[in-house]
Structure 1
């Protein structure tokens, strides 16, 4: 991590550029945020925890030499050697002594007295906990260890990470969204898909996204009226079985595009914000593959993103959020999905 950027980030999140951080890269916080929401009908997800645990070590790139990262398994030796060869100063790595592969790293930490003792000492020394996504579990861990949270409360973080929240924020800010709408009941979804029937009949697809879907999960492309009818039948059957007619999704038109863009904002505790960077996303069938930097933008396009970033930051801060935000802009040539970096990450 660039020392200059890291010091700026720490100052924004904690008030001091020298605050030691304890990082938790809990990539699948969405699964917890989604528990009180109803998404698309789907079979139970397969076990992905081992893959997620392997991804957590990427957090070593976010931390400095004075920071700590908690992982469910030790940093891969070859990866450590590679980072050291690149001249990166690595954080201290802590691993819970009681790890079960099906549990999150936070849950493993909460069941590991030796690790908890180490974290309490870090908390007493002024360290702040920086999860990639703050849920009630990370709040509990912070309380048990006396670690201050570098993020807002879990309720705030959960709220702003919803695609429904993100779409409504963009609309309220006067930003140009992809044509579409939010649905929170079975009846609303039925009405929206009925309205779009002629579009589907002409071969123009729609995309339906779970409020807390991520990385291609919780996303369904409807290419024709038959697919839309199948979705509605599944939704109807579930509502009849459960007695719950809620469904939290956004429905958007699938537009031609030149590229997808992501940009990052940091919102400080005092409300000041800055645009950190803009990246050009590489996706395949809705699944993220990587980024290109710098993005292929004209000066005017970059100014538009700067304006949008300011509007997004102002409204997020007014809703109680501070921290790092990842946002995907919408324009005539891009599709929009919304998601805050989940510290948020967001």
Structure 2
């Protein structure tokens, strides 16, 4: 089955076939990058690590998922009531909210043996991580599981914004105005060019090649901001001679569009999800499904996805890739802003139509900073009081689709709770979705005290 393995079919039309071992190793990017501008925040990292639970939205009953902690039982029961199937859940013996999940797996001989035994019993068992780094390759080697996805060195190459721009140029796709710079002086020169020559840009963005989730990005709207950013860039890259930065004009947009592609081991390319994204600055806060785009625009994205997928396969990539793009206010499509050669948060909600059946769906993400810890039951009670908790009988309302990301624990006795809430807002009409969204925002604002 390995050469015929097609993840999209297994998640849709062939859900009874094979067994998938899922591992949502969010944070894989740090193993692909030798340069980081990211500031460590332990409270934030705990919430990010627990985002692994959203992987449950695409699991089948016969699958296995590795989570660092068991989810709340009422959350699992709500998933069942909605129609999602709960797989076998395995957790490392050492419960650590900060250590990367793959490191916890590799430190746990009991868990490794369970995975090895499962692989020996089932010839159609496959290991599908969020992203493939050397850690997941080591897990596969120790357990005998067949890993799905490109080798880690290929993924590191794909998850590079400079290489993404080179792909666009090679395929003849429209690219943002700008260039690759290797020094502070070159960045200054490009800033002057972009802000003083046609087309004039009021803002410029500087990108670290392997930044993720809005990190490693500098939006420059003045010379003062440019110089302060350059001081930070210079300090972080001191002593390195191979540093490069992508400097591009910042476009006014009519739409941010994400499209997901899957490249099978045999080279098939599936475009399985096109969504309008909601961004706050450069940070993803949600998606709109289905997108409100004309058919010819959707068709063009399918063609972009096939062209990009075929090229990625030629250079050795297989697996899931999420591609971010924009449509400018002038109607120009820039098909590649960046390629994530891994799962994205958008991947995990790409198949909810199987449960929600042709509904309008808005996904939302909120950063929460309540004065007291908050758990899944608390937040669902608030939704229920307002009469906006999702009704599984008609799939109308709001569904919180993770529990562990909520700020229900304090880290080492600190007096600050930080967490994240992920919600699906579901209705037959966008008007009702917007009404629910306004109600949800008011509730979430009450949990954001900082």
For Structure 1 versus Structure 2, the TM-score category normalised by the shorter chain is 0.7 to 0.9
User: Which residue number in structure 2 is paired with residue 337 of structure 1?
Assistant: 337
Contact residue 24 and residue 71 of structure 1 kept, 8 A: yes
Shift of 1:278: 0.7
Please give the alpha-carbon distance, in whole angstroms, between the structure 2 residues aligned to 1:62 and 1:89.
8
Relative to the length of structure 2, the TM-score reads: 0.68
- Change beyond 3 A, Cα 1:20–1:183: farther
User: Which residue number in structure 2 is paired with residue 8 of structure 1?
Assistant: 9
1:68 aligns with 2:55: no
- Name which one, 1 or 2, has greater alpha-carbon Rg: 2
User: Which residue number in structure 1 is paired with residue 21 of structure 2?
Assistant: 22
Please give the alpha-carbon distance, in whole angstroms, between the structure 1 residues aligned to 2:219 and 2:77.
42
Relative to the length of structure 1, the TM-score reads: 0.87
Shift of 1:274: 2.0
- Change beyond 3 A, Cα 1:132–1:251: same
- Change beyond 3 A, Cα 1:291–1:319: same
- Change beyond 3 A, Cα 1:316–1:118: same
Please give the alpha-carbon distance, in whole angstroms, between the structure 2 residues aligned to 1:122 and 1:264.
30
SS across alignment from 1:234: helix
Once the two structures are overlaid, the 10-residue window that deviates more, 149-158 or 208-217, is: 208-217
Shift of 1:261: 0.5
User: Deviation per CA, 1:140-180, whole angstroms, max 9, x where unpaired?
Assistant: 11111111111111111111111112121112111112222
Name the Cα RMSD after superposition.
2.8
Contact residue 26 and residue 104 of structure 1 kept, 8 A: yes
Q: Gaps spanning 5+ residues in structure 2: where?
A: 1-5, 348-450
SS across alignment from 2:254: coil
User: Which residue number in structure 2 is paired with residue 216 of structure 1?
Assistant: 214
Shift of 1:187: 5.3
Contact residue 49 and residue 98 of structure 2 kept, 8 A: no
Once the two structures are overlaid, the 10-residue window that deviates more, 219-228 or 182-191, is: 182-191
What is the correspondence of 1:271-310 to structure 2 with a 5 Å cutoff? 271-310=267-306
Structure number with greater CO (CA < 8 Å, separation at least 6) is 1
Shift of 1:249: 2.8
Number of matched pairs: 333
User: Which residue number in structure 2 is paired with residue 253 of structure 1?
Assistant: 249
Please give the alpha-carbon distance, in whole angstroms, between the structure 1 residues aligned to 2:16 and 2:265.
13
Please give the alpha-carbon distance, in whole angstroms, between the structure 1 residues aligned to 2:156 and 2:70.
29
Please give the alpha-carbon distance, in whole angstroms, between the structure 1 residues aligned to 2:261 and 2:10.
11
User: Which residue number in structure 1 is paired with residue 91 of structure 2?
Assistant: 95
User: Which residue number in structure 2 is paired with residue 45 of structure 1?
Assistant: 40
Once the two structures are overlaid, the 10-residue window that deviates more, 147-156 or 96-105, is: 96-105
Q: Gaps spanning 5+ residues in structure 1: where?
A: none
Please give the alpha-carbon distance, in whole angstroms, between the structure 2 residues aligned to 1:270 and 1:285.
38
